[in-house]
Amino acid sequence: MSTCSVSKGCFVFKPNAKKRRLPEKTAHDFRSTSHDSEDTELRFVTCQSLWNQIKFETEQIQEDLNKQLLDNLVSFLSRSHSDFQEKTTKWTCRMKFREIPTAAVVLGVNVTDHDLTFRGLSDVLQDNITPYVALLEAKDCPAIKNLMQKLMGQLMNCDIEVDSLEDEDCVQVPQNRIRCSMLSLISWYESVTKKTDSGTPSKKRNSSSRHWQSPPVVVIFKDMESFTTKVLQDFIVISSQHIHELPLVLIFGIATSPMIIHRLLPHSVSSLLCIELFQSLSCKEHLSTIIDKLLLTSRFPFKLGEKVLQVLINIFLYHDFSVQNFIKGFQLCIVEHFYSQPLSVLCCHLVDLKKRVYSLSHAQCENIRRLPSFRRYVEKQESGKQIELLTNDSFLKKETERLLEDLYVYHENYVSILRCLHVFTSSLPKYPLGKQIRELHCACLENQVWETEEYESSLQLARMLNKTDLVSMLQQCVEILTSSSGKEFDKTVEKLKEFLTQFQNLEAEASQERDVSVSSQKELQKKTDLYHLQKTLLELKESRRSKKLTKFEMLRFEVVDYIDRLVRKYLVPADNRTLHEIVYFNAATVLRGHLNAAPRTALHTALNNPHRYLKNQALKCDGGGISNKAPDICIVYKLHLECGRLINLVDWLEAFSTVVMAGEEPNADAASSDQVDDIIHARFIRAVSELELLGFIKPSKQKTDHVARLTWGGC
């Protein structure tokens, strides 16, 4: 089709013309429609129940890990509070120097986890020490006025009770009518504490007798590094002038180093703080504990494959060090596994396994037969059993139950032997297999660990361990296997105890050998004849060359070889186990697509195919067509893909108008037509402005009626 324009621009042709196909989409499809399955509801309930159990366990772990830090902070605040309460000499000295009790809490660079820690601290303080706790963030406090408003707002709002609003002498004034100053805060505090003394306490404040009569006011700066220097200085200076009237305690949340206090505050201001330093648990240790308690346990049937676990760990190590984000990724794995795997209904505890296996439909049995691990298992069986497995559903269900029970037993044994192996490898120099148990776990999941060079290096180093270390490791292994729920380790425990007994017997024999060597040296000294002396020395030299292994060395080799046999027997990769697809989530590519943001790809998909996200059937187009029902920015975007480096705005507007007006009847009224053109023109200008804001185009200096295209290539 020919056109009457000689300028370079974009043109729209009628639907019967041949259309150029747009680039294929490469963005990951999130599967908006659920799988047609009879047990969808059961899978959802199982997934929800499993996640609730894991979530509860995670909260308990985090509470235990933060317990020592919170206890230390509570102790610090109790001391600070008692000093003010009893008006001791220590507090009087602080008053004289106007020092404010301050806790500097170093939490690490995992900023996203700080909120959980501070919320836990706030709850503990409000339960045991004081109800007056304020959490301040830098984004809400650009100036001292905003800081005071936020501080007084939090403190006063927490004093409002629904029932107390009916009391005549407890009238609450809106925050915007209060003059936010330190004097106002002091007056409010005195009035509240006076009510407590007079026997008319607020219900929320004094519902528990654990609060002191004059509780401190705790101000928590969640992200101290983000606060401006002037705001911090002004607040500290003002607060120090009233410290004898208001028992104020500051808590600084620090992500980097305690030295940031002295970098932000000059000496004249930092000298007004009585600082005590607190250090939280390292985020790496936190993650190792989470993995140890959630993944390396047989309590939860769901497991992560090696590549999936490596994706989560890499995001943790190379992006944010956030334990909370790791847990969210773990939750995403659970949801994705139960959503995408029809047989995930069998990913349950052993108590429910038998009932669910025998309730499988024929279609679900066919899904089992399609699993790659099950097909490998069938190929190894005899021809008669192969026929039964492939044709008889009842026989298949019975075999499936047995195989899944074996898989659960494998998990129990795997975790126990993995911990024993970690006892040996973590004490070796240079840590060939890694210091953390998560590194060893990934190595065992990836392939047969005994075939790696790191494992061979570990065995060589283990064969050089001294007796004390070896005995200590064996004792730890005995404790691990004794506490294990596995039933196959009775003989293993007896064998390890036998090794310990042999090491104890070596001590008596070693003392006897030392006595024999001393007597031989005395006999050598008695031989003064040169010939006999030379002969004896040659014999000693020859014996040293062909020196035999001592009993200790032989026993040490025997212990290491026995541990090696346990590793080869129990630490087989999960991919080699039949039906591992039911309980293991291995879709690392899917997880990476969810977690690793690809904004350009998502943006291209949204603009090029709005039906992908809006789910509106009117927006669905075949091929490279453009629907006039699509949002204006989508129409403008798809038209701009057809253009070169420079886009003529006039031609672009004409093309946009043609698409928008497609399928509409022409209006004979000229006035109405002009009005419609103005509306289309306005819509076009807005769409082009949005496209410019997103960074797809920019104004051109070469031609005023053109814009330059900034993006090229397919996503």
Q: What is the pLDDT of residue 13?
A: 45
Return the C-alpha torsion angle 296, 302, 308, 314, nearest 10: -40
In this predicted structure, what is the pLDDT of residue 180?
Answer: 75
- Per-residue pLDDT, averaged over 573-589, amounts to 93
Instruction: Please give the DSSP secondary-structure letter assigned to residue 131.
Output: S
Q: Is the pLDDT of residue 52 over 70?
A: yes
Judged against a pLDDT cut of 60, whether residue 83 lies above it is answered with: no
Residue 78 has pLDDT above 90, yes or no: no
Q: What is the mean pLDDT of residues 497-524?
A: 68
User: Hey, which residues does 697 pair with through a beta bridge?
Assistant: 709
Task: Give the confidence band of 166 by pLDDT, cuts at 50, 70, 90.
Answer: very low
The residue-averaged pLDDT of 224-232 equals: 92
Cβ atoms 70, 120 nearer than 8 A: yes
β-bridge mates for residue 304, sequence order: 585
The yes-or-no verdict on residue 169 having pLDDT over 80 is no
Is the model's pLDDT at 443 over the cut of 50?
Answer: yes
- Please say whether the beta carbons of 396 and 277 come within 8 A: no
Asked if residue 55 has pLDDT above 70, the reply is: yes
Of the segments 26-30, 56-60, 91-95, 662-666, which one has the largest average pLDDT value? 56-60
Angle, vertex CA 706, rays to CA 705 and CA 709, nearest 5: 160
Q: By percentage, how much of the chain surpasses pLDDT 90?
A: 43
Question: Measured between alpha carbons, how far is residue 617 from residues 68, 277, 605, 612, 626 in Å?
Answer: 57, 60, 16, 10, 13
- If you average pLDDT over residues 567-574, what whole number do you get? 94
Q: What is the mean pLDDT of residues 397-414?
A: 94
pLDDT confidence of residue 173: 43
Distance of CA 650 to the CA centre of its chain: 51
Note the pLDDT tens digit of each residue in 691-711. Answer: 999 989 999 888 888 999 988
DSSP secondary structure letters along 330-351? HHHHHHHHHHH-GGGGG-S-HH
* Average pLDDT estimate for 445-452: 90
Cα–Cα distance measured from residue 90 to residue 88, given in angstroms and rounded to the nearest whole number: 5
In this prediction, residues 111-135 reach a mean pLDDT of: 88
The β-bridge relationship of strands 248-254 and 217-221 is parallel
Nearest CA to 347 among 50, 568, 601, 632?
50
Average of pLDDT values for 658-665?
A: 77
In degrees, rounded to 5, the angle at the alpha carbon of residue 431 between the alpha carbons of residues 425 and 435 is: 75
Average pLDDT over residues 639-657: 90
Check residue 504 and give its pLDDT: 85
Question: Is the pLDDT confidence value at 95 over 80?
Answer: no
Residue 378 to residue 357: CA distance in whole angstroms:
19
Q: How far apart are the first and last CA of the chain?
A: 30
Residue 401 has pLDDT above 90, yes or no: yes
Least confident residue range of 52-66, 200-214, 425-439: 200-214
- Indicate if the pLDDT at residue 472 is higher than 50: yes
Residue 37 has pLDDT above 60, yes or no: no
Strand, helix or coil at 297?
coil
Q: How far apart are CA 71 and CA 551, in angstroms?
A: 52
pLDDT for 529 beyond 70? no
What is the reported pLDDT for 244? 83
Give the residue-averaged pLDDT of 570-574: 93
pLDDT given for residue 467 in this prediction: 87
pTM value surpassing 0.95: no
pLDDT over threshold 70, residue 112: yes
Beta strands, E only, 131-288: 133-136, 217-221, 248-254, 273-279
Give the pLDDT confidence score for residue 109 in this predicted structure.
87
* Type and span of the H or E element at 412: helix 393-425
Nearest Cα residue to 129 out of 94, 82, 83 = 82
Residue 331 has pLDDT above 90, yes or no: yes
Task: Give the pLDDT confidence of 303-321 residue by residue, as tens digits.
Answer: 999 999 999 999 999 988 8
- Spatial separation of the C-alpha atoms in residues 440 and 455, rounded to whole Å: 10
Average pLDDT over residues 202-230: 73
What is the pLDDT averaged over residues 535-562? 77
C-beta separation of 253 from 105 below 8 A = yes
Tokens coding 467 = 């007796």
pLDDT in tens, 380-390: 999 999 999 99
Q: Is 524 helix (H, G, I), strand (E, B) or coil?
A: helix
Contact 34, 40 (CB under 8 A): yes
Average pLDDT for the chain: 81
Residue 206 clears pLDDT 50, i.e. is over it: no
Torsion angle of the four alpha carbons 487, 488, 490, 494, in this order, in degrees rounded to the nearest 10: -160
pLDDT of the residue at 159: 42
CB 253 within 8 A of CB 69: no
Q: Which amino acid is at 549?
A: L
Instruction: Give the residue, 599 or 486, on which the prediction is more confident.
Output: 599
Does the pLDDT value for residue 434 go beyond 80? no
User: Which tens digits make up the pLDDT trace of 268-304?
Assistant: 999 999 899 999 988 888 999 999 998 998 889 999 9
From the list 48, 16, 228, the residue with the least C-alpha distance to 142 is: 228
The three-state DSSP-derived secondary structure of 561-614 is HHHHHHHHHHCCCHHHCCCHHHHEECCHHHHHHHHCCCHHHHHHHHHHCCHHHH
